[in-house]
Amino acid sequence: MDFRLTADQEALRRGMRELLAARFGREALRAAVDGDEQQQVVDGRLWRELGEAGLFALRAPQSAGGVGLGLPEAVLLFEEAGRALLPGPLVASHLAGGTGLVAGAADGSVVVTALEEGPRPDCGAAPLVEHLDAAGAVLALGEGYGAGAGEGCPVRVLAPGQLVAEPMRSVDPLSPLHRVHGLLPEQSPDDGSGRFADEQPGSGNGDGGTGGGGATDGGATGGRGATDGGGASDGGGGRLGGVSAEVLRGEAALLTAALQLGSACRTLELAVGYAREREQFGRPIGAFQAVQHLCAEMLVRSETARSVVYAAAVTADDEEISAAKLLADTAAVGNARDCLQVHGGMGFTWEADVHLHLKRAWLRAEQWRTAVAGEERLASALLRPICR
């Protein structure tokens, strides 16, 4: 089997890189970071251009107006988006556009964010949602791990105003976050509480405020099917008409791993470029063995993560997706730290881009499939009997 990229895949990746360089280069990135805090992080015009380029309808069938490609191609495009630190709920909009769950998601006219319902099993915290202010719909994915896991996990589409959420400070300046305490009473699960499992009466605010941030692993809350609020459809049509939340959560973890991979490769480029230019004691710092070792370790992390992420995109195997997310998170965070080390004191300044990659990597590492969740899945797979 030949795992080299085809000419079409190379062209697809090159086109995405050129589009982002033209529409979201470093100047646009810094303008977004240094702009007014009240300014919307998600650029609606750029979002529609991404939709026109096919990013969100990439895996939708051609019969439904999509591109008709697969996970390997999606991973290549998301790797480029991660390299550029493109802000916005890319994963959720891609899932919604590819499945037809939200009308307008495929062409970028509607921004879709996502919520992994329920408290996180590793710390009990209420779930987070990113870019809620910019979203026209929220893709709510029921818990698919542990008790009750399987193909019956619910997928719901909610209007942003249905969430009882409060804004919280985000480590990433381009990923506004809200903590979700539940749904408004009239839109609540069957028990009528309108709260997630870890919430007590009176917790959170009741104004359904908006904002953004990645979702975390947690338990399902139960509830009704998809609504038609906020530009949402009832889930008819699309690439995987009856897809379960568990499938979408796995795909979201893989696409997030691709974003992390892109960031890891970019920080490697930044470190090597700076090591070639910065001189100390009359020599480029890249001539010193300690700096060479740091850059070599960054390369090993990046290429190891790349091979596993690409393999998981081909097989779509759940355990391989867990391994891909673990290694990509490690590469993104580790490379950003080492890139900062290569930059020395300059790396700690606001003007350098290194801290932006590190902060985004920290945030993505807590989205969809955390290290704890991934390790648990891999451990469970090792304990399963081997069928011969």
| pLDDT tens-place string over residues 299-322 | 999 999 999 999 999 999 999 999
**What strands, in cross-sheet order, belong to the sheet with 177-183?**
128-130, 177-183, 163-168
More confident residue, 386 or 140: 140
Q: Is the pLDDT of residue 206 over 50?
A: no
More confident residue, 57 or 387: 57
Residues 338-348, mean pLDDT to the nearest whole number? 92
Pick from 370, 353, 12, 81: nearest CA to 215 = 370
Alpha-carbon distances of 64 from 47, 91, 233, rounded to whole Å: 20, 20, 14
Round to the nearest angstrom and report the end-to-end CA distance of the chain: 24
What's the pLDDT band for 131 if we cut at 50, 70, 90? very high
What DSSP string runs through 234-274? Answer: -S-SSTTTT--HHHHHHHHHHHHHHHHHHHHHHHHHHHHHH
The answer to whether residues 135 and 183 touch, using CB atoms and an 8 Å cutoff, is: no
What 3-state class would DSSP assign to 345? helix
pLDDT value at residue 125: 72
pLDDT value at residue 382: 87
| DSSP summary character for residue 153 | -
According to the per-residue pLDDT averaged within each range, which of 153-157, 172-176, 178-182, 206-210 is highest?
172-176
The alpha carbon torsion through 350, 356, 359, 360 (nearest 10 deg) reads 160
- Mean pLDDT, all residues of the chain: 82
pLDDT digits (tens, 9 = 90+) for 59-71: 999 988 889 999 9
- R_g (Cα) of the chain, nearest Å: 21
Contacts of 238 (CB under 8 A, 6+ apart): 60, 61, 64, 98, 99, 100, 101
Instruction: List beta partners, residue 343.
Output: none
More confident residue, 309 or 227: 309
User: Considering the chain, what percentage of its residues have pLDDT values greater than 70?
Assistant: 78
Place of tokens 């818990």: 143
Phi, psi of 130 (to 5 degrees): -105, 150
Q: Is the pLDDT of residue 77 over 90?
A: yes
Place of tokens 């955390």: 370
Q: Which of 95-109, 168-182, 311-325, 374-388 has the lowest mean pLDDT?
A: 374-388
pLDDT digits (tens, 9 = 90+) for 238-259: 333 467 888 999 999 999 999 9
Q: Which of 78-87, 152-161, 235-244, 375-384 has the lowest mean pLDDT?
A: 235-244
Predicted structure pTM score: 0.83
Pick from 219, 253, 247, 249: nearest CA to 322 = 253
